[in-house]
Structure 1
Amino acid sequence: MALRWGICSAGKISHDFIVALKTLPAVDHKVAAIASRDLKRSEEYAKQHNIPKAYGSYEELAEDPDIDVVYVGSVHTQHHALVLLFLRAKKNVLCEKPMGMNAAEVWDMVQVAKENSVFLMEGFWTRFFPVSEQIRTLLRADETVGIVLNYSGNRQAVLNCTMMIDLPGEALIGGTDGIIKIPNHMNSPTVMFLKGKRWEWPLPTSPEPLFFEHDIGLRYEAEHVRLCLLKGLKESPVMPLHESEIIATISDEARRQVGVIYEQDRVECINQSESRK
């Protein structure tokens, strides 16, 4: 029986996720419903993608008994409230990254998922590309992996990302047996080099235009979710929930150091202050 997906939000990333699902076997994946706060927009999406149900509220999607898992593709400021809505309705959830605005929100979602005994995963799609799986296979002899950002003598490892220009996204992973090179698209890799050998896993042709390059690769995380649910898992062994919490904590610290404060951070501070009284 096909895994029945509910799509939360009728935005661009939801479109690309639906298109990516179409490259997977129909016997394994089916989009059963689409929901947004605008019924007309949901109906347009449903018509475009041949989705049987369209809802004008997320609550209706949460109450639909024919949904196995919900893909939350809304803007990230809404992730916390929407994920909690679906988890409390006993729905499995794949939430687009970042899962929450801060570590407190992520921790909250993880606890609610555990309380309701449902699957929850953050959509770090990079981990499910075949190139990423091959890298994990090659690096499996390593017992411990450390990411060091600051060195002695004022030396630093610098990670660059931007939404302002199109960077090549090259990555180099050095080890005692050689260097793995990803020439571009390190977040959605299809090619890697090691010791002069080229490894390539071409993406399937998209059946429809996409908003973002390589988004057809969302198919990999979708299939991973299906396999996790078939095994009765409540979280992914490749993208475990404790790592989502760690990533959110690192992001919180990075924002703190550059002075970026979200409204959600202020709310959390108020909650902590009230709890101490």
Structure 2
Amino acid sequence: MSTLRWGIVSAGKISHDFTSALSTLPESEHKVVAVAARDLSRAKEFAKVHGIPNVYDNYEALAKDSGIDIAYIGSLNPQHYENAKLMLENGKHVLCEKPLTMNASQTKALIKVAKEKKLFLMEAVWSRCFPVYKELKKALCSGVIGDVKQVTVGFGFRLEHVDRLMKKEMGGGTILDLGIYTLQFQQFIYDHKKPLEVQATGHVTDTGCDIAMNAVIKYENNQLASIQTSGLCELTNEAVIVGTKGIIRVPNFWCPTQLMLPNETKEFPLPKCKHEMNFVNSVGLRYEAAEARECISKGLQECPSITWNESIQLAELEDTLRKILGVKFPEDSQTY
């Protein structure tokens, strides 16, 4: 396959980290050829930092650029659906930041567009592409901890100062921002099974956004998952898998470089990057970019590491948790 040509939608922090991570991959395989932002000055500054030749002040122009193969969507949550749909309708493959959309209805509608256009669409659950996840799956299949019965995973930081998390119109709340990581992890461990029951409680701000959530998800075969999110305090930010014969721990489970097995700890160091990063282990975004390229080269429309059905399951779980806590977005009342 020839070089995969990327267009970057939005010039924010995560887009910076993703583009920086791409620079650690061979230029013969990945090249960023354009960036678009609604603020032209931000797009120009982004392009200057990353050496990007084409700059646009609107997403439509990027979507119509015939020199782009795939669009990376790094915009705010409420813009994911429209931006990704725009790119697909203009013949672009799409790697869209998580959550893929605001709810299950949007997710199903977006996948329908990708199917019709015969294009690649992937929710950027970058965690799944880390080498630790591949090694973790091998360990579980080997039976090193026996039959898994409990998964506990919490994700939380002091986030009251983060504007987008506190505003409903910006797709705020911890369920969509942090909860998707905890949900995808327990879903990964339990092989994407459908839950028998979901119970949850939490706290909601005056603006209608969830600021903290605890949930218990019940599966068949006496399996349980306990997940927590918080924007009020830093949690352990570790995943613990308990089986009938032992325990596995995954520090920094959303972007892990270490796997703590019962009898050994395995390390998977990340490569160095020339740019300063905004988020922990962001150079690991290179793994999802590499998987996207591999899938496209094979003619796949979805990534085996995070399939369309899984994205729908994740959205449905997020919808369920929000409903229990009483968090509703304008998108929930619309038809797609």
- The normalised TM-score by structure 2 is 0.75
Residue 244 of structure 2 corresponds to residue 190 of structure 1:
no
1:55 aligned partner: 56
Alignment of 1:3-18 (within 5 A): 3-18=4-19
- Equivalents in 2 of 1:115, 1:150: separation in Å? 35
C-alpha distance 16-163 of structure 1, shift in aligned 2 (>3 A): farther
SS of aligned partner of 2:228:
coil
What is the CA deviation profile of residues 125-148 of structure 1, one whole-angstrom value per residue up to 9, with x for unaligned ones? 110011011112222368974567
The 5 Å alignment of 1:116-131 reads 116-131=117-132
Give the total of aligned pairs: 266
1:114 is the counterpart of 2:118 = no
Structure 1: which amino acid aligns with 2:50?
H
- 2:76 is the counterpart of 1:75: yes
**Mapping of residues 229-248 of structure 1, within 5 Å:** 229-248=296-315
1:29 offset after TM fit, Å?
0.9
Residue aligning to 2:104: 103
Q: Which moved more, 1:56-65 or 1:131-140?
A: 131-140
Q: Which residue of 2 aligns with 1:213?
A: 280
Residue equivalent to 2:292: 225
Please point out which of 226, 237, 240 is paired with 1:172: 240
Uncovered stretches (5+) of structure 2, i.e. residues with no partner = 148-189, 197-216
- 2:182 aligns to what? none
Q: Which has the higher strand share?
A: 2
Matches of 1:254 and 1:111, distance apart in 2 = 24
Q: Which ranges in structure 1 are unaligned for 5 or more consecutive residues?
A: 272-277
Tell me the equivalent position of 1:162.
230
Q: Which residue in the other structure is 1:249 paired with?
A: 316
User: Aligned partners of 1:26, 1:266: CA distance in 2, in Å?
Assistant: 44
The 1:118–1:156 alpha-carbon spacing in structure 2 relative to 1, beyond 3 Å, is closer
Change (3 A) 1:66 1:256: same
Q: Aligned partners of 2:229 and 2:124: how far apart in 1?
A: 18
**Tell me, what secondary structure is at the counterpart of 2:240?**
strand
Structure 1 position 104, deviation (Å): 0.3
| 1:189-240 CA distance string (max 9 Å, x none) | 1101212211010111221111111111111101000110111111111110
Tell me which moved more, 134-143 or 224-233: 134-143
| AA at the equivalent of 1:236 | C
Q: How many angstroms apart in 2 are the aligned matches of 1:242 and 1:157?
A: 20
Q: Secondary structure at the match of 1:223?
A: helix
For 1:170 and 1:129, locate their aligned partners in 2 and report how far apart those are by CA, in whole Å. Answer: 15
CA shift digits 1:2-31 (9 cap, x unpaired): 211100001110000011111111111111
Deviation, structure 1 residue 177: 4.8
1:137 aligns with 2:138: yes
Moved more, 134-143 or 250-259: 134-143
Identity %: 43
1:159 is paired with a residue whose SS is: strand
What letter corresponds to residue 55 of structure 1 in structure 2?
Y
Q: Which amino acid aligns with 1:68?
A: D
**Cα deviation, residue 157, structure 1:** 4.1
Residue 266 of structure 1 corresponds to 333
CA RMSD of aligned residues (A): 2.1
CA distance in 1, matches of 2:56, 2:69: 16
TM-score, structure 1 as length reference: 0.90
Secondary structure at the counterpart of residue 65 of structure 1: coil
CA deviation profile, 1:58-88 (whole Å, cap 9, x unmatched): 0111101111110000001001111110011
User: d(CA) in 2 for partners of 1:228 and 1:113?
Assistant: 14
CA distance 1:20–1:60, change in 2 (3 Å): same
Deviation at 1:156, TM superposition (A): 6.8
